[in-house]
Structure 1
Amino acid sequence: MRLMLNLFRAYPLASFLMLVALLLSGLAEGLGLSALLPVLKVALYHNQPGSGPQEPPGELELMVLELLDWLGIPPTLGPLLLLIVVASTFKALLLLLAQRQVGYTAAQLATDLRLDVLRHMMRSRWAFFLHQPVGKLTNTMASEAQRASDAYVNGATAITFLIQSLVYAGVAVAVSWQAALASLLAGVLIIGGSHFLVRMTRRAGRRQTQLMISLMSRLTDTLQSVKPLKAMAREDLADRVLNLETNKLNKALRRQVFSAAALNSAQDLMFTAFIALGVYLALEQFSMGLATVMVLVVALGRAFSFLGKVQKQYQKLMQGESAYWSLLDTIDQARRAEESLGGGTEPVLHQGIRFEQVGFAYDGHEVFSRLDLEIPVHSITTLIGPSGSGKTTIIDLVIGLLRPDSGRVRVDGTLLEQFDLREWRRQIGYVPQETVLLHDSILHNVSLGDPQIDEAQVVQALQDAGAWDFVQALPEGMHTQVGERGGRLSGGQRQRIAIARALINRPQLLILDEATSALDPASEQAIVATLRELRQRLTILAISHNPALAEAADRVYRLAPRGRVELQA
């Protein structure tokens, strides 16, 4: 129950209210059951005077009769039945409150876990984030968070059943402690003997967590490669890989299902056998009264039933426990990899950006050393060169996603690490190579749902990006839906929407990472013309393999392998 203790500490007030409601509902149920013995006595003897000698009252009955006398309730059939109904109603209302609290807390738990994963991942270092499979994060946000929430519900339900089991056991002890003790010892033996099925479920749950991470990672990668796979008629390869992973998961789920079914069947059979044996011994060997035996049967039967449910709910908790710890491990890794956001100096960009003797290596592989270059303000600086020469690394260093191993990056003479990096990045507009638009309106794709951005600002950004003319001509204007990944727009139109998105916050620095590589010459020339106009009020840093952007640049750096840099213009 380490998971439940962990969650109780995380949600102390909600857990306390739940436990209070459960305890009160248990007391109400115990009161209703205790009143059952006098009811049976009345039914068996008072209403049937010729049925034989009345069974002498036991300790429990005497306690109930004293309580009824103190409350002024006559020990007759009608008031006693009414008392049972009232106690049951009170118990039902308290259980409803407790279960509602459990449901609300479980929903909040899933939400909090998802937000914790998201926040810590967004705050982690870029190098750490790059090593996280998208499928793993998807599984963490969806499957693991939900399974952890379900585990909390199952744990809380187990506590509910445990309290109810203890209440019924208490009533049985009050009726006949010898019979109750013998029966409860038998129940403990049954629970202990079947606990290996719980351990089987726990192992299956851990295996399920591992396989879900692997399957979701492979599935995400496969879905991103559907088009080339279909184009080459090789989708059967994806089917074989996913089929293998899915079958492994299926085996784990089968073990989980079998252990749950076996526990359910074995428990019910053994509990029924022990109760039948107990009834026989009570009536035949110990000559107990029928009313007392009936109350014992009800009390012990319910105690066994709820005790069995405790183990079944605990078994379900074990199914989801591994998901919770896996999710916490993901959060902890991201927390330990949290990015340092530098000093508190207010960033400014009035002169330019300089790289001074900068060296950087990825996993021991040197990208460049002693790199010197300058990016003047209000100009277009273009980086060209073969793949692997360090162009994207330079951009990541400018953004502050990476830190140089040696040398310095200065902005207006100030070391970049002395800036508040969050404020520095707010002055940057970034357009990636692959333009990914949301399946939403043009308005939402530019503003990204920021409530502080109004339609007038979106219109201005579209105009600055040279996109307003075609947007205005659409049937619904900027409220037009762009389709999945922007599929209803042409490549050039999608790129202009992406530029408008980068310009919406009026940045000082615009970065384009191969932003025109997928465009036809006409679309590229149109965007280059737009960039020439934009450099009058901001600084542009671009990566490009295409000659058009290099020809329009004020400064061109050609990067070669092993960090060689040549200034061409």
Structure 2
Amino acid sequence: MRLFWTLGRRYPWQTLMTLAGILFAGVSEGFGLSALLPLLNRIFQAASPSSEAGELGLLVDRIVGRFLAVLGLEVTVPALLGLFVVCIVLKCLLVFLANKQIGYTVTRIATEMRLALLQALFQTRWEYFIRQPVGELTNGVATEAHRASLAFHFGARLASMAVEALIYLSLAVLVSWQATLLAMLGGGVILVALRGLIRKNRKAGRQQTVHTQALIAQMTDLLISIKPLKAMAREEAAAFLLNDRTRKVNRALQKQVLSKAYLGSLQEPILTLFLVLCLYGALVFWKLSLTVIIAMVFCVGKSLKQFQKIQHEYINLVEFESAYWSLAEKIEQALAVPERRGGLAAPELTQGIRFEDVSFDYDAKPVLREVTLEIAAGGFVVLFGPSGAGKSTIADLLIGLIRPASGEIRIDGVPLSQIDVRDWRRRVGYVPQENVLLNDTVFQNVALGSRGLSADEVRNALVAAGAWPFVEALPQGMFSVVGERGSMLSGGQRQRIAIARALVKRPRLLILDEATTALDPGTEKEICASLRRLKGEITILAISHQSALLEEADTAYRVEGGRVTRQPKTGLQGR
């Protein structure tokens, strides 16, 4: 129940409205049922004039009679039946409103948790983000958020049934306090005797959450690699990798199913036993009238049935609560390492960029040592060197994704550490080596949901990237869908759209991180021609081994062994 109270504090108004609706619905139902007792007394008195209404009948008669008198009605059969119908209709209306509020709250919880996770991930440090399995994050957004919201649903239903049980117990007290005590004892026995099943179900719920996260993470990685797996006929090997995780998820689900099956099969005999004991006591020891016995059996039976439902909803609650705590932990961990925000407005990059004795370590391993380099505004600079030498690290430092261990990066003379990093990134266009396009139109792949971008602005970016001729030839032009991960386009076409995406916001700095490595020489030359037209308008930093880009560069730096050395323009061809 700790989860329900946690969500109750987070959504106080919604929870209060839900509980109020449930409470008044229960009171309305209880009052409606109370109207049946005087009706039963009249039926039995009509059948047997010598029968007595008894203390209970007289008490309820007085309560119902006073209520009808307030309404200006006499205690008659039509009035009692009308009161019963009105109370039940009112109860149904209140239950509907409460369930409507529960449904709205459930969807709100799922939506807000999804958005909270996404916002936390977007605001966290890059070093933390790259260590998170993509599949686990996807599972958090798609599955865990939904399961977490269902925990509130079951908690609210549990509260509803607890209120109904309390109403029936209150009526049962009016009927027979001895039977009420016996019913409460029966409910207590059910809750205590079966608490072990609840513990097992909670543990199985945690196991399901953990194993499902791992399964989806591994499945995501394998689906991304599906093409080489199919090309080498190794799908069976991929399936084998998933078998172990799938079996673990299956075992956790089996434990949950078994716990619920045990719960259902054990509850019914216990409930029947205590109901029989109540009936035996009423007939043999307490000598109750037939009216009272009927009312007692109804109220006690409904009370015990509510105890059964309460435990069933509670076992559902503990099954789903693990998803909430898991997702809340992800959000908390991401928020604990926020990216640096705030600072000075970013310069317009009219002078240039300078690295001054910049060093960087990754997990205590030196990557860059006392790097000094300059990038003139409007210039074209290429970084080249062996793989793993730190070229992409320089780009990440310049973007502000990571921070140097020592040294300073200056933009137009202003230290990057003092600049609002998000404001600076708005002036940067970035093209990675592997571009993943959305299964959407060319327009959306270039605009990426940016509001205010017109079709003309997207077209201009496509023209600048040299992509407009083939885009114009598509069936719907820039509004043609490119397929999953851009599968309907060639590698060169995908890369041109990625460059257009980087250019559409008119950046001051364009970074190409191995952007032409996988392209054929002809396509690479075409892209180089597009970049040549951009020289002087924007500053270009390219990371590449390709000779075509080196030929276009104004300046080239060799990155090797954590050091950066400037290379003369002559002699770069063929490197």
**Could you say which residue in structure 2 is the equivalent of 1:441?**
441
Match of residue 55 from structure 1: 53
2:461 aligned partner = 461
Does the aligned pair in 1 maintain the 2:557–2:564 contact within 8 Å?
no
Residue in 1 aligned with 2:77? 77
Q: Say whether the 8 Å CA contact 1:135–1:220 is kept in structure 2.
A: yes
**Post-superposition offset of 1:464:** 1.0
1:363-409 residue CA offsets vs partner (Å, 9 max, x unmatched): 01101211111111112111111111000000000001111101111
| Other-structure match for 2:159 | 159
1:164 aligned partner, one-letter code: E
Deviation at 1:567? 2.6
Partner of 1:140: 140
How far apart, CA to CA, are the structure 1 residues paired with 2:361 and 2:346? 29
Matching residue's letter, 2:392:
T
1:247 — aligned with what?
247
Q: Which whole-Å CA distance do the structure 2 matches of 1:287 and 1:340 have between them? A: 78
Alignment deviations for residues 172-223 of structure 1 (CA, whole Å, 9 cap, x no partner): 0122212211221222112211111111110100111111111111111111
Q: Matched residues in 1 for 2:184 and 2:65: separation?
A: 27
Letter in 2 for 1:91: K
* Identity among equivalent pairs (%): 47
Query: 2: distance between equivalents of 1:212 and 1:270?
Result: 36
1:36 and 1:295 in contact (8 A); partners too: no
| Distance (Å, rounded) in 2 between the aligned partners of 1:201 and 1:82 | 45
Equivalent residues of 1:347, 1:423 under 8 A apart: no
Secondary structure of 2:562's partner?
helix
Superposed CA deviations along residues 4-30 of structure 1, whole A, max 9, x for unmatched, are 111111111111111111111111011
- What per-residue deviation string (whole Å, max 9, x for no partner) do you get for residues 139-183 of structure 1? 111111011001110000000000011011001012221221122
Structure 1 residue 233: deviation in Å?
A: 2.2
Who is 2:301 aligned against? 301
Cross-structure match for 2:6: 6
Q: Look up the SS of the partner of 1:366 in the other structure.
A: strand
Separation in structure 1 between the aligned mates of residue 261 and residue 77 of structure 2, nearest angstrom: 42
Cross-structure match for 2:407: 407
| 1:262 counterpart = 2:253 | no
1:428 aligns with 2:428: yes
For the residue of structure 2 that corresponds to 1:174, the secondary structure is helix
* Correspondence list, 1:169-248, <5 A: 169-248=169-248
Structure 2 residue 43 is matched with structure 1 residue 43? yes
Q: Which runs of 4+ in 1 moved over 4 A?
A: none
Q: Residue 352 of structure 1 aligns with which residue?
A: 352
Partner-residue secondary structure (3-state), 2:241: helix
Q: CA deviation at 1:49?
A: 4.4
Work out the CA distance in 2 between the residues paired with 1:181 and 1:364. 68
Give 1:349 shift.
0.3
Q: Which amino acid aligns with 1:511?
A: I
- Which amino acid counterpart does residue 154 of structure 1 have in structure 2? F
Partner of 2:292: 292
Per mean C-alpha deviation after superposition, the further-off stretch among 286-295 and 276-285 is 276-285
Q: Which amino acid aligns with 1:237?
A: A
Match for residue 374 of structure 2? 374
Displacement of 1:76: 2.7
Note the C-alpha offset of 1:461.
0.8
In the TM superposition, what is the alpha-carbon distance from 1:564 to its structure 2 partner? 4.5
Q: Is 1:508 equivalent to 2:508 in the alignment?
A: yes
CA distance in 2, matches of 1:232, 1:561: 36
For residues 363 and 561 of structure 1, the distance between their equivalents in structure 2, rounded to whole angstroms, comes to 17
Deviation at 1:69, TM superposition (A): 3.7
Would the aligned equivalents of 2:182 and 2:278 in 1 still touch at CA under 8 Å? no
Per the TM alignment, residue 490 of structure 1 is displaced from its structure 2 partner at its CA by 1.3
- Could you tell me how far apart the structure 1 residues matched to 2:118 and 2:111 are? 11
Partner of 2:550: 550
CA distance in 2, matches of 1:102, 1:334: 29
Equivalent position amino acid for 1:477 in 2: G
Structure 2 counterpart of 1:529, which letter? A
Query: With structure 2 as the length reference, what TM-score do the two structures score?
Result: 0.96
The gaps in structure 2 that reach 5 residues or longer are 570-575
Give how far 1:512 is off.
Answer: 0.6
CA gap 1:515/1:320 in 2 versus in 1, 3 angstroms: same
8 Å CA contact retained: 2:462, 2:497: yes
Q: Deviations over 1:233-277 (max 9, x none)?
A: 222221112111001110110110111121122112211221122
Separation of aligned partners in 2, 1:131 and 1:298: 59
SS at match of 1:111: helix
User: Cα RMSD over matched residues?
Assistant: 1.3
Deviates more, 1:474-483 or 1:152-161: 474-483
Contact persistence 2:44–2:51 (CA under 8 A): no
Aligned-residue offset at 1:346: 3.4
Secondary structure, counterpart of 2:54 in structure 1? coil
CA distance in 2, matches of 1:566, 1:540: 16
Are the aligned partners of 1:385 and 1:391 in contact in 2 as well (CA < 8 Å)? yes
Name the aligned partner's letter for residue 443 of structure 2. Answer: L
In the alignment, the residues of structure 2 paired with residue 524 and residue 89 of structure 1 have an alpha-carbon distance, to the nearest angstrom, of: 75
Partner AA of 1:152 in structure 2: F
Separation in 2, partners of 1:283, 1:538: 96
* Residues in 2 aligned to 1:541 and 1:305: alpha-carbon distance in whole angstroms: 72
**Aligned residue identity for 1:262:** Y
- Kept after mapping to 1: 8 A contact 2:345/2:423: no
CA contact (8 A) 1:43 1:77 kept: no
TM-aligned CA deviation for residue 342 of structure 1:
4.7
The 8 Å contact of residues 342 and 417 in structure 1, kept in 2 or not, is answered as: no
Distance in 2, matches of 1:396 and 1:378, equals: 20
Please report how far the alpha carbon of residue 506 of structure 1 lies from its aligned counterpart in structure 2 after TM superposition.
0.5
Q: Which amino acid aligns with 1:503?
A: L
SS in 1 for 2:309: helix
How far, CA to CA, are the matches of 1:53 and 1:310 in structure 2? 38
How far apart, in 1, do the equivalents of 2:254 and 2:112 lie? 31
Counterpart AA for 1:229: L
Contact 1:360-1:367 within 8 A present in 2 as well: yes
User: What is the letter of the counterpart of residue 393 of structure 2?
Assistant: T
Structure 1: distance between partners of 2:376 and 2:347: 16
Distance 1:568 1:223 in 2: 45
1: distance between equivalents of 2:531 and 2:207? Answer: 53
Q: Distance in 2 between matches of 1:20 and 1:255?
A: 36
Partner of 2:313: 313
2:539 maps to which residue? 539
Name the CA distance, whole Å, in 2 between partners of 1:214 and 1:90: 48
Deviates more, 1:85-94 or 1:441-450: 441-450
| Alignment check: 8 A CA contact 1:42 1:76 kept | no
Shift of residue 318 of structure 1? 0.3
Q: Tell me how far apart the structure 2 counterparts of residues 118 and 568 of structure 1 sit (CA, whole Å).
A: 46
Equivalent residue, structure 2, for 1:523: 523
CA distance in 2 between counterparts of 1:278 and 1:222 reads: 61
Contact 2:508 2:539 (8 Å CA) reproduced: yes
> Alpha-carbon deviation of 1:306?
1.4
Question: How far is the alpha carbon of 1:31 from its aligned partner?
Answer: 0.2
Kindly state the Cα deviation for residue 284 of structure 1 after the two structures are TM-superposed. 2.8
Aligned partners of 2:221, 2:232: CA distance in 1, in Å? 17
- Structure 1 contact 114–141 (Cα < 8 Å) conserved: yes
- Cα distance in 1 for partners of 2:336, 2:503 equals 33
Q: Counterpart of 1:93 in structure 2: which amino acid?
A: L
Q: CA deviation at 1:472?
A: 1.4
How many Å apart are 1:550 and its aligned residue?
A: 1.1
Q: Secondary structure at the match of 1:481?
A: coil
Q: Per the alignment, in what secondary structure is the counterpart of residue 511 of structure 2?
A: strand
